[in-house]
């Protein structure tokens, strides 16, 4: 039996990057996936790949900054599958590389609404569907929140807040066998490119003991599967760093 056989997973920001990799990894592990993003055509491509593994994939156009879209996402998941076992809060809309004094109201609002409020709302929307049979909530945090990365002010603040509510939910919902954890990954993305690529390979090796930036499919997605499976049933309220040991440097 596959690790996620017949589970139903909701994954936000699934049109590319970690969200896409997670959706495909979950499909390989036997889960049906409800994937959302703002670009439906990209989602449909991801859905086709997922369904090659014999599962059902439901692409839902959703802007996580719009409350009604979030409610519709959950409603479609329940209508299509009758349950929600796994929630992955991955989506965020933000502008990176901006000093605190240069943050605009638009940058603040977009980042807080997509990266914090959407996580808050989706956790609350999924709770009634998880409280009888348990569930897995996996929220994506960031190393920027751990090291106070310059020029990532609101992004770092939001990601720190995400882990804070993850811990609170873990305590409040543990009796219902709902585990809530945060993942801090390092993999090639727009963020890691800004943080590492300009410094050169030798600096990456100095910062990351394993000597390379993670591959989203090989290094990060397998951990996402583990955290969604029964293998992680006794892990909750934790900040899981999947960063090649990068946090040791700091």
Mean pLDDT computed over every residue of the chain = 92
Tell me: pLDDT of 205 over 80. Answer: no
pLDDT tens digits, one per residue of 157-166: 999 999 999 9
Question: What is the mean pLDDT of the segment spanning 219-230?
Answer: 98
What topology does CATH give the domain 8-249? Rossmann fold (3.40.50)
- The pLDDT of residue 228 is above 70: yes
Q: Which of 155, 188, 212, 234 is catalytic?
A: 155
Contact 77, 10 (CB under 8 A): yes
Average pLDDT over residues 231-248: 94
pLDDT for the residue 1: 81
Please, is 48 exposed, middle or buried when counting C-beta atoms within 10 Å of its C-beta (0-12, 13-18, 19+)? exposed
- The mean per-residue pLDDT over the stretch 232-240 comes to 98
Q: For residues 173 and 196, give the distance between their C-alpha atoms in angstroms, rounded to a whole number.
A: 38
- SS3 string of 32-79? EEEEEECCHHHHHHHHHHHHCCCCCEEEEECCCCCHHHHHHHHHHHHH
Q: Which residues pair with 9 in a beta bridge?
A: 33, 86
pLDDT over 70 percentage in the chain: 93
Encode pLDDT of 25-75 as tens digits: 999 999 999 999 999 999 999 999 999 999 999 999 999 999 999 999 999
Task: Determine what percent of the chain is predicted with pLDDT higher than 90.
Answer: 80
CB 160 within 8 A of CB 116: no
Structure tokens at 219: 């290094």
* pLDDT band at residue 189 using 50, 70 and 90 as cut-offs: low
CB of 119 closer than 8 Å to CB of 182: no
Domain residue ranges of the chain, discontinuous segments joined by +: 8-249
Mean pLDDT of all residues in 142-164 = 91
Of 52, 71, 175, residue with least CA distance to 126: 71
Residue-wise pLDDT tens digits, 107-124 = 999 999 999 999 999 999
For residue 156, how far is the Cα from the chain centroid? 15
Give me the mean pLDDT over the 136-140 stretch: 98
Note if 155 is an active site residue: yes
Reported confidence tier of residue 8, pLDDT bands at 50, 70, 90: very high
pLDDT at 21 over 80: yes
Alpha helices in the chain (DSSP H): 17-28, 40-51, 67-81, 105-112, 118-130, 143-147, 153-173, 190-196, 201-207, 221-228, 246-249
**Confidence bin at 201 (pLDDT 50/70/90):** low
- Pairwise CA distance, residues 52 & 167, whole Å: 36
pTM recorded for the entire structure: 0.94
DSSP-derived pairing of the beta strands 178-185 and 32-37: unpaired
Tokens, residue 57: 């994939």
Mean pLDDT calculated for residue range 185-203: 64
Per-residue pLDDT, 200: 53
Could you count the other beta carbons within 10 Å of the beta carbon of residue 138? 24
């Amino acid at each position: 039996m596959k690790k996620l056989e017949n589970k139903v997973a909701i994954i936000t920001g699934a049109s590319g990057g970690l969200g896409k990799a997670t959706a495909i990894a979950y499909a390989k592990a036997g889960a049906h996936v409800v994937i959302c993003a703002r670009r439906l055509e990209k989602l449909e491509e991801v859905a086709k790949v997922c369904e090659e593994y014999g599962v059902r994939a439901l692409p839902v156009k959703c802007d996580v900054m719009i409350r009604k879209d979030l409610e519709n996402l959950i409603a479609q998941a329940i209508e299509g599958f009758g349950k929600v076992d796994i929630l992955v809060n991955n989506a965020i809309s933000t502008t990176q590389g901006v000093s605190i004094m240069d943050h605009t109201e638009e940058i603040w609002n977009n980042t807080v609404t997509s990266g914090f409020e959407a996580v808050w709302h989706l956790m609350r929307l999924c709770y009634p569907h998880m409280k009888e049979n348990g569930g897995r909530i996996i929220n994506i945090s960031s190393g920027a929140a751990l090291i106070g990365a310059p020029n990532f002010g609101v992004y770092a603040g939001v990601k720190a807040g995400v882990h804070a509510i993850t811990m609170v939910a873990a305590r409040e919902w543990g009796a219902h066998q709902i585990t809530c954890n945060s993942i801090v990954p390092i993999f090639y993305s727009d963020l890691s490119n800004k943080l590492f690529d300009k410094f050169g390979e030798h600096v990456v090796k100095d910062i990351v003991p394993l000597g390379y930036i993670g591959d989203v499919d090989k290094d990060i997605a397998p951990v996402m599967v583990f955290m969604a499976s029964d293998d992680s049933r006794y892990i909750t309220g934790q900040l899981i760093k999947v960063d090649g040991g990068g946090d040791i440097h700091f």
